Amino acid sequence: MISFLVFVASIMVLVGLHEAGHFFMARVFGVYVKEFAIGFGPKLFAIQGKETRYSLRLIPFGGYVKMAGEDRLEDDESIPQGRTLYNKPPYARALISLAGPVTNLLLAFVVILLVIWSISFPILQVSGIIPDAPAAESLQFKDRILAVDGRRALTLNDITSSIQRSAGAPIAVDLLRDGTPLTVSIQPEYLAGEERFVVGAYFLDAAYTTQLDHVASTSLLGANGLRARDSISAINGQVLDSTLGSLLIALEEATEHSSFVISYVRDEVETTIELPVTEQIAVDFFTGVSFSHLGMAYRRAGLGEGIVLASGQFVGYIHALAEVIRSVFAGQVDAGEVFQGPVGVARILGESIRVSASFFFQLLAFLSLNFGLINLVPFPALDGSRVAFALYEWIRGKPIPPQREGIIHAIGFLILISLMVLITYRDIVRLFR
């Protein structure tokens, strides 16, 4: 029931704002709007405005803005011809059609931005330093990184981007060391094999140690006798400096052998065990375990930082969607497993709100972006096709015959409904697997 209510509320927001975009732009160009409806099918209730009837309908899977003259065969003498849709110039009709998808894209960006402004970002800390690397001369374990080259470092990407922009020139790093503000200079070095600049340090949300905080009994370490509060002291005889970074380095070097030896301390007694090296030894080593850290500190994104981060995430969502579509067309992913209908979306939304409000709103933003981009596709019955028809009329100098355009949109609508039914059926089948 929660999933259903969350789904209905979410769809009403996405569809309502989409149609509001069409409605607002139609009013800007003086088009007479007969009805603003959320949902399809039987009317649940309606309010009659000065011109427009605002209605809520039974099936909450869409909505519409009914404009005078949208059907060019319609003949309503009570409405001035100058206020009908198809008596407006092609550019006006194109903008009216674009307004809905653009509103969804704008909603996605605003939701992402508000989520970013509402959450706190952990201040990244130095969790490990590679010996003899440039960072070894300037950074220390547990330093909190505030800014790099004058730019606040809210995310790991902020740090790595500043390092790459330096092109090897010295960079200023503002940090907190034991609560004291400090600025140090580091000159990145170029790794030809990886084609990037590095400083030779690990930056994580916290300064993690080699002491185990949690060990699942089914994990590789748990199955070999390790448990919480044990501290890993050496790998293959290489003594660690109690930092997770030193463990990562030693583990990477150990993969070059057929087996490796782990030394750990429990109650001041050191024990040694030998484990085989597998193809995924690094993954196996850290699966089911967590390590202790020295505490975390947080801060929020500023006005400009939030906009920059939201823009990056917005573009990232588009790239992710494009990659999914590419994978489907390349045959790498089953379309039926990727695309979700109303039932699948309801289930995902219901699960997301149980995780956290932040996760739910991020998902809502992604759905709004999907909704907007899909409607921009020039497929019959979608907004993109109406834009295409308007542009075609503008270039050709005369419109497509109304009967022909109506048939094209009707066929497209039937195809879309058929796809919706098919996807919904697959969603229901998936529930009972």
Tell me, yes or no, whether 297 lies in a domain: no
Tell which of 159, 179, 204 closes a domain.
204
> Does 160 lie in the same domain as 133?
yes
* Residues ≥6 apart with Cβ < 8 Å to 362: 111, 112, 115
Tell me, yes or no, whether 325 lies in a domain: no
Q: How many domains does the chain have?
A: 3
> Does 212 lie in the same domain as 187?
no
> Does 405 lie in the same domain as 363?
yes
> Does 268 lie in the same domain as 231?
yes
Higher pLDDT, 237 or 254: 237
CATH number, domain of 147, equals 2.30.42.10
The percentage of residues in the chain with a pLDDT greater than 70, rounded to a whole number, is 93
Q: Dump pLDDT digits (tens) for 379-413.
A: 888 899 999 988 888 888 887 777 787 788 888 88
Q: Report CA-CA distances (Å) from 209 to 176, 247, 274.
A: 19, 9, 21
Place 1 in a pLDDT band, splitting at 50, 70 and 90. Answer: low
Tell which of 291, 314, 335 closes a domain.
291
Write down the pLDDT at residue 430: 66
Tell which of 161, 181, 204 closes a domain.
204
> Does 112 lie in the same domain as 70?
yes
Tell me, yes or no, whether 398 lies in a domain: yes
Answering whether pTM is above 0.75, one says: yes
Tell me, yes or no, whether 338 lies in a domain: no
CB-CB contact of 115 with 32 (8 Å): no
Q: Residue 135's domain spans which residues?
A: 124-204
> Does 422 lie in the same domain as 391?
yes
> Does 44 lie in the same domain as 106?
yes
Place 74 in a pLDDT band, splitting at 50, 70 and 90. Answer: low
> Does 399 lie in the same domain as 372?
yes
Cα 319 off chain centre by: 10
Question: Which helix H or strand E contains 93, and what residues bound it?
Answer: helix 90-118
> Does 104 lie in the same domain as 7?
yes
> Does 221 lie in the same domain as 167?
no
Any alpha helices (H) in 287-381, and if so which ranges?
303-329, 335-338, 342-355, 357-375
Q: Dump pLDDT digits (tens) for 182-206.
A: 999 999 999 888 889 999 998 999 9
Place 341 in a pLDDT band, splitting at 50, 70 and 90. Answer: low
Higher pLDDT, 376 or 426: 376
> Does 141 lie in the same domain as 104?
no
Q: Report CA-CA distances (Å) from 161 to 74, 157, 204, 280.
A: 58, 6, 16, 29
Q: Dump pLDDT digits (tens) for 28-56.
A: 999 999 999 988 888 888 999 889 999 98
Tell me, yes or no, whether 339 lies in a domain: no
Q: Dump pLDDT digits (tens) for 124-181.
A: 999 888 888 999 999 999 999 999 998 899 999 999 999 999 999 999 999 999 989 9
Tell me, yes or no, whether 247 lies in a domain: yes
> Does 30 lie in the same domain as 84?
yes
Tell me, yes or no, whether 299 lies in a domain: no
Tell me, yes or no, whether 108 lies in a domain: yes
